[in-house]
Amino acid sequence: MTKKRPQTQPAPESSFNPGRWYRHNKSAVHRGLLYGIGVVVLFAFGWWAYFALSNREEKLTKDEYMTLARQAFNCGYFDVAILNYHKASNAAPEDQLVKREMFLARSRDNLNRGGGFELALASSYQVLADDPASIIGRVSLAQLFELRGQADSMLYYAGQALERGRATGDASAQLAADLVLATHHRTLDAQDSAFAYCEDALAAATALSDDFQVAFTKAGLGFAALQIDSLDYAQRVFRDLLAYRGRNGSDFNDIGSAGLADYFERRGVRDSARVYLEPLRSSMDNNVIDGTTAYATRIYGRVLRDEQKYDEAIEYLARSLEMWRNLRAIPDVIECLNDLAQVYRLKEDYLDARKYYMAAGNLAKDQKLPRRDLYTADLNVLFLKNLKPDEYRRAGEEGIALARQLLVQ
């Protein structure tokens, strides 16, 4: 029997035919595409408009840019000053004074980064020569002469900057001049005057609505208050500094902690002083060289002295002395020498006590700081009584030699 070949059935027709569907719905498809393209275009335009408006910078005049640049310069924000001088230069390319002041801002910024002092000084003089009424030229010269320790020149230019700042209502110039004058009077032990200049600086910083400058000036007020025994006021100031948080993440925690440690050491509350010094221990033990660490190290030495841990106290006071020497802060060097002398006296090591008192006294005479010469007649009697004649003489000679060494360095 012959087998029949199975018949293959034709494939069923597809239920969806794209071509046929497109022919029947052509108009709707075209309308949909047009709507979609329109939505994408509108969306893109909306984003472009948003970014254009959010990044749009209002155009200012040359004089307005110059005002912003000078204010930033006086506050020490040299990078901001350079940016605004650049914009002023774009607005008035032929203005030579803009170029001079921008070069001054660059030289001061370069100095802050370890650049040359003489270039900053020369550019300050050049601005003043081009514009005899220039306030920032005077501010810059006052700050530079303060760094160099030329008190007479500093006082001359700072006084002029302060006077012109008050006359023109330039709060940033008043702030800069007040801070320079406050620092100068603090080194002279004229703490009442330093406090008064800090108060004026605080008023100027507040007028500028500059939170960082307000906090910085408060720090100066706190240290001046400690020196005039206004301890409760100092405590409030330093507690405020602990709460400060700048927009760029800056803070004054170390300064606030060091100030509060000093406050509690003066009050005789050593446990609290140690608590506030603890965040600074790493910097102290690693000999980080900055003013706050040097200051905290000295306070820790005093705490150890109060606890009669004389050898440890000498170790930390000697560290602080070396830090202040590297910072070329002679008034603070003198204070450390006196602290060391006191510890040696308490240890009844009269030879080293006389040596350090003599070094401090000679430096104080050289720097015209009579209040820091603590070598009294009573101390001299004590040393004469407890030292042999050759020891007495040797201690004096070593003290004088140490003072000369510290001055040269």
CA distance linking residue 280 with residue 303, whole number of Å: 14
Q: What is the DSSP letter of 76?
A: T
- Report how far apart, in Å, the C-alpha atoms of 264 and of each of 238, 271, 313 are: 12, 8, 17
The residue behind tokens 């330039």 is: 170
* Residues 219, 186 contacting (CB under 8 angstroms): no
* Residues 197, 178 contacting (CB under 8 angstroms): yes
Tell me the one-letter amino acid at 382: L
Rg of the chain over all Cα atoms, to the nearest angstrom: 35
Helices (H), 113-170: 117-130, 135-148, 151-168
Would you give per-residue pLDDT tens digits along the chain (409 residues)? 455 555 555 555 555 566 665 566 666 656 666 666 766 666 666 666 555 555 445 678 999 999 999 999 999 999 999 999 999 999 999 999 999 999 999 999 999 888 889 999 999 999 999 999 999 999 999 999 988 878 899 999 999 999 999 999 999 999 999 999 998 888 787 889 999 999 999 999 999 999 999 999 999 999 999 989 999 999 999 999 998 887 666 788 999 999 999 999 999 999 999 999 999 998 888 878 888 999 999 999 999 999 999 999 999 999 999 999 988 888 899 999 999 999 999 999 999 999 999 999 999 998 888 888 999 999 999 999 999 999 999 999 999 999 999 887 5
pLDDT at position 150 is 85
pLDDT at position 22 is 55
What is the per-residue pLDDT across 247-269, written as a single tens digit (0 to 9) for each? 666 788 999 999 999 999 999 99
What is the per-residue pLDDT across 205-235, written as a single tens digit (0 to 9) for each? 999 999 999 999 999 999 999 989 999 999 9
Helix (H, G, I), strand (E, B) or coil at 230: coil
Q: What percent of the chain has a predicted confidence (pLDDT) above 70?
A: 85
* Residues 85, 65 contacting (CB under 8 angstroms): yes
